[in-house]
Amino acid sequence: MKNVYLSIAALAASLAATSASAQTEDANSGFNQFYVGGSFGGAHTASTSQSILFDRNLDGVFGDTVTTAAGANAFSPGFCSGSATSTGNTNCSFRRDGLEYYGKIGGDTQRGRIVVGFVVEGGRPDFIESVSGFSTTPASYTISRDIRFNINARGRLGFTPNDSTLFYGAGGPTYAKIRTYNVTSNTANSFTVNGDQDGWGYNVGGGIEQKIGNNFSIGLEYLYTDVKADKGRVRVGPGTAPPTNPFLLGNAAGTDFAFGNRFMSWHSARVTAAFRF
């Protein structure tokens, strides 16, 4: 990941030099063009879950405490952000960074020095969010989620000082297909995940784009994306556990797990390229 960000920094210096030399070149149509292209860069998660929420009686309301038959808190050892590294303590490892890649289409209209446009893109940020809980058994329970694919739409508003360099801000709605899954050391209960969920939210950011000739451009872009991710569930069922199992005391069918944080958000720093026509 460090190499990705170093490459982006190097391109920033290259863009500055290209922009200076491009001011004397004729960019022909400026930014009155449609384009197709893509982006590649790094994604860094901005959201973390500090705990797992429980729905013990399966009434759809989370925030219950899972207790033993004696009334003690079955998760008194606690929780941590990330994937459990053992079953007997609250140590976790967290993977915050990942690569991302997108394809895009868009169009711009230039009026004087002002550029108004749109872009629609689809791709995937490759990072994982996890949270783990530790029971008195002892046992560990890790819930994880990632983005299977992401579609963004943004309006763009920018300024060009020379018809070849564009500074812009952008924002709009976003959609993500979110996968939830779990890993546990508990071999007595059964565990069922409710599958993928749809997440809706927004993305906002800005960047710089530099035309090279009339039909090609490269750039740097930053985006912040936030989507609602409150539908992921893990059902802890009976399995081979007895009726006195803590997960079965509130409802014989089991207990539902959910992330404490109901949103997923991440930062993106990316290199962009586009063919303009």
Size (the chain), residues? 277
Cα–Cα dist 192/170, whole Å:
40
Phi, then psi, of 3 in degrees rounded to 5: -65, -35
User: Please, which residues have CB within 8 angstroms of residue 259's CB and are 6 or more apart in sequence?
Assistant: 49, 52, 53, 129, 131, 143, 145, 229, 230, 232
Amino acid at site 231 = K
Phi, then psi, of 261 in degrees rounded to 5: -95, 120
Q: Enumerate the β-bridge partners of residue 167.
A: 159, 208
- CB of 249 closer than 8 Å to CB of 238: no
Please report the pLDDT score of residue 166 as a whole number: 98
What token pair was written down for 69?
A: 């038959």
What token pair was written down for 107?
A: 């169009």
Please report the pLDDT score of residue 210 as a whole number: 97
Could you list the pLDDT tens digit for every one of the 277 residues in the chain?
A: 554 444 444 444 444 444 444 444 444 679 999 999 999 999 999 888 889 999 999 999 999 999 999 999 999 999 999 999 988 777 888 878 899 999 999 999 999 999 999 999 999 999 999 999 999 999 999 999 999 999 999 999 999 999 999 999 999 999 999 999 999 999 999 999 998 999 999 999 999 999 999 999 999 999 999 999 999 999 999 999 999 999 999 999 999 999 999 999 999 999 999 999 9
Q: Enumerate the β-bridge partners of residue 236.
A: 191, 255
Please report the pLDDT score of residue 57 as a whole number: 95
What b/e string do you get for 24-41 counting C-beta neighbours within 10 Å, with b at 16 or more?
Answer: eeebeebbebebebbbbb
Pick the closest to residue 227 from 169, 170, 151, 157 (CA basis). Answer: 151
